[in-house]
């Protein structure tokens, strides 16, 4: 018996067809023993610390849910952050990463991987810089708008680690774009800046945010359509890739020089426009109230005169 088994094994070893058949049979038996699963529902393992990979079903659900939620409520920063991550792949974030790789400064940023926080920038030092410098303009904008660079959420749903840093860098540089353009954090200013960013970066989240213009007041929509959308498209398309600015090295530079180098012209001061409009509305209401009071006083005087005349006739 033992001799027969050895002889059979030797024949299998010499016959390639029998070898392939035996391997296929073993693989099929192993596959039958594996638990059944849907690949579209299975979450892959993380690729780097903090990475939260998504299954195709999870990604699709977040695209719809976070997209609609951020569209109807532009102040939901968490939904905007998630939508930016789940829509950045498979093309857009790689395009932005390649733009950085094509630039010497962009390559240095990818190599150094700096982070923008209140500590890394040393905000008290920026407040001591001369007026008109990039750093002073940036910190003045932070103080005026009451925001901090420490509120940017970490990127978790981009699978490629280097691309995750690219999106993180874009996210942390957002306030520098605000300071560079002077646009405030009110809804109207955010929509205008997102239009600029979309023209410059092509990230889908920035393009979707432009549709939030439909939620603006009629006067704001008209102003966005006539002033800020043309400005955003013109400047975003002609400007250099703003993702390649090493902001940490530009803090002591004149902000106007940097704007000219990048090809970015600041739009009309939105804060000033809104302030003038509020003042005009206040004066209009005061004038209407004064006119109403004068009319009421005149009517009262007329009534008193009529009463006096009636009393005299009696």
pLDDT tens, position by position, 243-299: 999 999 999 999 999 999 999 999 998 888 888 877 877 787 877 777 777 777 777
The mean-pLDDT minimum among 49-53, 178-182, 291-295 falls in: 291-295
Task: Consult the annotation and say whether 51 binds a ligand.
Answer: no
* Range of lowest pLDDT (131-140, 189-198, 252-261, 301-310): 301-310
Classify residue 205 by burial, with Cβ atoms within 10 Å: 0-12, 13-18, 19+: buried
3-state percent helix, strand, coil for the chain, nearest multiple of 5 = 75, 0, 25
Which of 153, 225, 155, 222 lies closest to 195 in space, CA to CA?
225
Residues 6+ apart with CB under 8 A from 298: none
The yes-or-no verdict on residue 32 having pLDDT over 90 is no
pLDDT (tens digit, 9 = 90+) per residue, 102-127? 999 999 999 999 999 999 999 999 99
Answer yes or no: is 175 a known binding residue: yes
Which residues are CB-neighbours of 182 under 8 A, at least 6 positions away?
Answer: 141, 266, 267, 269, 270
Q: Name the token pair of 44.
A: 């892959």
Closest residue by Cα to residue 73 from 209, 232, 221, 228 = 209
- Say how far apart CA 149 and CA 146 lie, in whole Å: 11
What's the CA gap between 127 and 138, in Å, rounded? Answer: 9
Cα–Cα distance for residue pair 209/195, rounded to 1 Å: 8
This prediction's pTM: 0.77
190 labeled part of a ligand binding site: yes
Separation CA 192–CA 198 (nearest Å): 10
DSSP track, 75-110: T-HHHHHHHHHHTSTTTHHHHHHHHHHTSHHHHHHH
d(CA 140, CA 127): 7
> Which pLDDT belongs to residue 26?
46
């Amino acid at each position: 018996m033992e001799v027969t088994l050895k002889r059979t094994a030797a024949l299998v070893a010499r016959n390639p067809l029998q070898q392939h058949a035996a391997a296929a049979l073993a693989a099929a038996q192993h596959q039958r023993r594996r638990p059944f699963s849907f690949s579209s529902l299975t979450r892959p393992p993380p690729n780097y610390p903090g990475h939260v990979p998504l299954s195709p079903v999870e990604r699709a659900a977040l695209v719809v849910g976070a997209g609609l939620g951020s569209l109807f409520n532009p102040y939901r920063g968490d939904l905007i952050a998630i939508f930016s991550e789940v829509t950045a792949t498979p093309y857009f974030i790689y395009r932005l990463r390649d733009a950085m790789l094509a630039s010497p400064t962009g390559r240095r940023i990818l190599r150094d991987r700096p982070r923008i926080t209140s500590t890394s920038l040393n905000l008290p030092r920026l407040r001591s810089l001369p007026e008109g410098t990039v750093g002073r303009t940036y910190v003045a904008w932070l103080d005026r708008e009451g925001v901090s660079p420490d509120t940017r959420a970490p990127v978790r749903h981009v699978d490629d680690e280097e691309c995750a840093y690219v999106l993180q860098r874009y996210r942390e540089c957002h306030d520098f774009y605000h300071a560079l353009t002077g646009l405030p954090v009110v809804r109207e200013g955010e929509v205008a800046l997102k239009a600029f960013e979309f023209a410059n970066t092509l990230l889908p989240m920035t393009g979707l945010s432009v549709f939030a213009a439909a939620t603006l007041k009629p006067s704001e929509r008209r102003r966005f359509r006539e002033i800020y959308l043309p400005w955003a498209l013109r400047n975003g398309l002609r400007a250099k890739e703003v993702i390649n600015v090493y902001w940490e090295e530009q803090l002591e530079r004149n902000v106007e020089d940097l704007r000219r180098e990048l090809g970015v012209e600041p739009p009309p001061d939105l804060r000033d426009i809104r302030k003038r409009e509020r003042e005009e509305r206040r004066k209009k209401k005061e004038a209407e109230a004064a006119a109403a009071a004068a009319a009421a006083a005149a009517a009262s005087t007329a009534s008193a005169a009529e009463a006096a005349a009636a009393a005299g006739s009696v």
